[in-house]
Structure 1
Amino acid sequence: MSSSINKELKEWAKAIAIAIILAYLIRTFLFAPFIVDGTSMMPTLENGERLIVNELQYRFGQPKRGDIIVFRYSEEQDYIKRVIALPGEVVEVKNDQLYINGQKVEEPYLNEERKQLAVQGLTLTDDFGPVKVEEGHLFVMGDNRRNSKDSRMIGTIKFDQVVGKAAFAFWPISEIKWLTSK
């Protein structure tokens, strides 16, 4: 009987060790938790929301316009922003309207905020540009354009700064949602 208990304990220990190794590999190479710090992505993401970031997404492909990404701003800090323009594109805002390569770009995720500000005689995004995005770089902005430290101030970001794509908001529970490109 003690040999069957020993065997059972060894099996359990092996299963737990495998689970720990798998959890470590998944956390390190595939998905990572991220806490939104600040209001720069409001109303899409709120301060304190917890997300899952897909770190594998861009190992096999490039970011797309509209993706919400996490990137390394400094050794101590990661930022979360939306991809606005891709390498080789020219981005500018005139009269609160985004243009890429001279073509008007709709941003439906900003409509409600724009309406609220227009009532007050304000714009969401000040005019800037044109800015040409270098190869290997991205132009990113927060959805809360009036309160976001983004490519308008810090310049474009390099692909190798990108940690991954924000995939899923899981906390608070009332705000659970998939984060899709828009």
Structure 2
Amino acid sequence: MARQEEKSILRELGGWLLYILIIIVLTYLIITFVGQRTRVSGSSMETTLSDGDNLIVDKLSYRFQEPKRYDVIVFPYQHEENTFYIKRIVGLPGETIQVVDGYTYVNGELLSSDVYGAEVMNSPGMAAEPIELAQDEYFVLGDNRNHSSDSRDPSVGVLKRENLIGKAWVRIYPFDRLGVIRHE
């Protein structure tokens, strides 16, 4: 009788250990390939995103589709480990980007559909001269253009496709602003 109880306890314990192992493996796979939580630090994406917002980043979409203009993306800051930036894609592969008199031009045409920029840019940075994007490069700007380190800044520069972690998908905190992030 004691031996049967011992087997029953071991079977129960084994079942729990297998269950915990499956949860750990699934969590790892989801965090690695599907989504990741990130926190906004700073005001470079105001008014779209605010300091302290918690987001879920969709890491899966860009495995099946190309990033689009105005997607809000997350990428690693190359000069600081475990630091990620959140910006909006403005320039796509093959395009020429320039900032003239505080406005963004794509292939020589004013980007008039850019409703996200909070203000006219004071500094064009590197984009004072035309920047030709390669077939795997993107030009990004923060929505709060005068308070953003973005592709105009040499420390960020243009982004390679391989460096895009994913698209900001859902704001999960603060709860009163919970919802899907606007991309267009």
Same fold (TM over 0.5): yes
- 1:30-179 mapped onto 2 (5 Å cutoff): 30-74=34-78, 75-76=80-81, 77-105=83-111, 106-110=113-117, 113-114=118-119, 123-124=120-121, 126=123, 128-154=128-154, 155-179=157-181
SS at match of 2:21: helix
CA contact (8 A) 1:73 1:161 kept: no
CA contact (8 A) 1:71 1:164 kept: yes
Pairwise CA RMSD of aligned residues? 2.1
- What's the offset of the Cα at 1:6? 4.4
Partner Cα distance (1:21, 1:51) in 2: 22
Q: Which has the higher helix share?
A: 1
Q: Deviations over 1:104-154 (max 9, x none)?
A: 3312234xx44xxxxxxxx34545343221221110010000011111112
CA contact (8 A) 1:69 1:164 kept: yes
TM-score (norm 1): 0.83
Partner Cα distance (1:177, 1:131) in 2: 35
CA contact (8 A) 2:103 2:121 kept: no
CA contact (8 A) 2:39 2:55 kept: yes
Partner Cα distance (1:19, 1:42) in 2: 36
Percent identity for Structure 1 against Structure 2: 40
- What's the offset of the Cα at 1:35? 1.0
Q: Deviations over 1:27-56 (max 9, x none)?
A: 122211111111111111111111111122
TM-score (norm 2): 0.82
Partner in structure 2 of residue 117 of structure 1: none
- 1:3-14 mapped onto 2 (5 Å cutoff): 3-14=7-18
